[in-house]
Amino acid sequence: MSGLIRFAAMAGAAVSLLMAPAASAQDSLKQDTFKIGLLLPMTGPFQSTGWQANAAVQLFLKQRGSAVAGKKIEVLLKDDGGVTDAAKRIAQELIVLDKVDILLGFGLTPIALAVAPLATEAKIPMIVTVASTSVVVDRSPYIVRTIQTIPQIANVIGGWAAKNGIKNAVSIVSDYAPGLDAEKWIGQSFEQAGGKMIERLRPPLVNPDFAPFLQRARDASPEAIFAFVPAGVGAIFAKQFIERGMDKSGIKIVAMSDVMDDDVLNGMGDAVLGVISGGPYAVAHKSPQNKAFVEAFKAANGNRRPNIVSVAAYDGMELIWRALKATKGASDGPALVNAMKGMQWESPRGPVSIDPATRDIVQNIYMRKVERLDGELHNVEFETTPAVKDPAR
């Protein structure tokens, strides 16, 4: 019997030795691969947002390669369709099954808010490149944002309008958290600078019909309409504004940059010439970095323009790259987030940094006017407010 036991022990040891190299190789592969879970709306009403972000990620990888700090970068693109429940389920799968090291994207605020507890539990960094409601970064210590906050822009726009002769206005904002942020901060800064809000209107987020809200705004006879809708929906707003003849009514549009989205601006027609908007990026921004970025983006994407969504995704990848270099390839969540705090670089939009106290983006906000340049419509910057932090903090 003892001979059988000795044989079984020897056989077990042999099996262990045979298995050890395979397990070691598998562990080494996992250790050397850094997985990015890219969660975006590639279908549905917000698919243009998903397309822009994914195009920027692919451009970044094409330019920089797929390795950094000894890590092979693997991007797993998942389509959430802009649906919160689907996004939460997919994020859980990315964390548990795919074992991603970081999450990137988040096309809408409700999606970012739903996924935040999962990132906290798993201690995985969550780079928000689209969702812009101020409160988003507060929902997890692992969230870092590279796009913008709504108050960051709205506060500048409202103050600018009052200081430039607009005495009263009506706001039209999509009825969801970022829209409410825009309504609050534009109205607050406008009235603090001497303006008066006549009415606040909130069209639905899904399948919006702006016509009745535009008519109500027209009936109020304001000097201006403050407008905010998500990126990709601005063309519908502009079309219905023009169809109602409001471009000839003398009522000005002063908008968040999403309404005059660079991706679709050139198709809006001359009726939007002169429209004023505020935001952190325009294709026409003058800098060597932006010139190179726009040329490369258009060359890779059939001459289609980038917008703030693509720039934020590109910067999200830049942030990941820099953090991995700073940690010398260490990929644990706390180390990466700590490395990201306080980072600064020159983005296609201008100088940016990550506020170490809030993990939010600090950037210039530009007032822009729609003009025709080289036969195309562009948002042309004419005034800069430098290094703007989120005023909600």
- Model pLDDT, residue 271: 85
Q: pLDDT tens for residues 301-349?
A: 999 999 999 999 999 999 999 999 999 999 999 999 999 999 999 999 9
- State the DSSP string of 313-372: HHHHHHHHHHHHHHTTT---HHHHHHHHTT-EEEETTEEEEE-TTT--EEEEEEEEEEEE
- Over 70: is that where the pLDDT of 2 sits? no
Percent of the chain with pLDDT over 70: 92
pLDDT band at 19 (very low <50, low <70, confident <90, very high): very low
Computed over every residue of the chain, the mean pLDDT equals: 91
- pLDDT band for position 27 (50/70/90)? very low
Q: Is the separation of the CB atoms in 91 and 107 below 8 Å?
A: no
Amino acid occupying residue 154: A
CA geometry: angle at 37 spanning 36 and 39, to 5°? 140
Q: Are strands 168-173 and 126-128 parallel, antiparallel or unpaired?
A: unpaired
User: Structure tokens of 201?
Assistant: 């209107």
User: Which of 79-83, 125-129, 208-212 shows the lowest per-residue confidence on average (mean pLDDT)?
Assistant: 208-212
pLDDT score of 20: 39
The pLDDT tens digits for 283-301 are 999 999 999 999 999 999 9
For 380-392, the pLDDT digits (tens) are 999 999 999 999 9
Q: Which two tokens stand for residue 275?
A: 């429209």
- Residue 207 confidence class, pLDDT cut points 50, 70, 90: confident
**Terminus-to-terminus CA distance in the chain, angstroms?**
75
CA-CA distances (angstroms) from residue 51 to 46, 112, 145, 243, 317? Answer: 9, 18, 19, 28, 16
Q: Residue 23 has what pLDDT?
A: 40
Average pLDDT score over residue span 242-247: 86
Reading the block at residue 13, the tokens are 């040891």
Q: Is residue 212 helix, strand or coil?
A: helix
- Dihedral of CA 207/212/216/218: which sign? positive
| pLDDT, average across residues 69-80 | 98
Give residue 14's pLDDT.
Answer: 38
Hey, how many other C-beta atoms are within 10 angstroms of the C-beta on 381? 19
Asked whether residue 169 carries a pLDDT value surpassing 60, the answer given is yes
Q: Which residue has the higher pLDDT, 164 or 26?
A: 164
pLDDT (0 to 100) of residue 10: 37
* Angle at CA of residue 374, ends 372 and 378, nearest 5°: 40
* 348 within 8 A of 314, measured Cβ to Cβ: yes
pTM above 0.85, yes or no: yes
Residue 13 has pLDDT above 80, yes or no: no
* pLDDT for 244 beyond 80: yes
Regarding predicted confidence, which is higher, 385 or 9? 385
pLDDT at 31: 64
Above pLDDT 90, what percent of the chain? 82
Pairing, β 33-40 against β 102-105: parallel
| Cα–Cα distance, 137 to 162 (Å, whole number) | 30
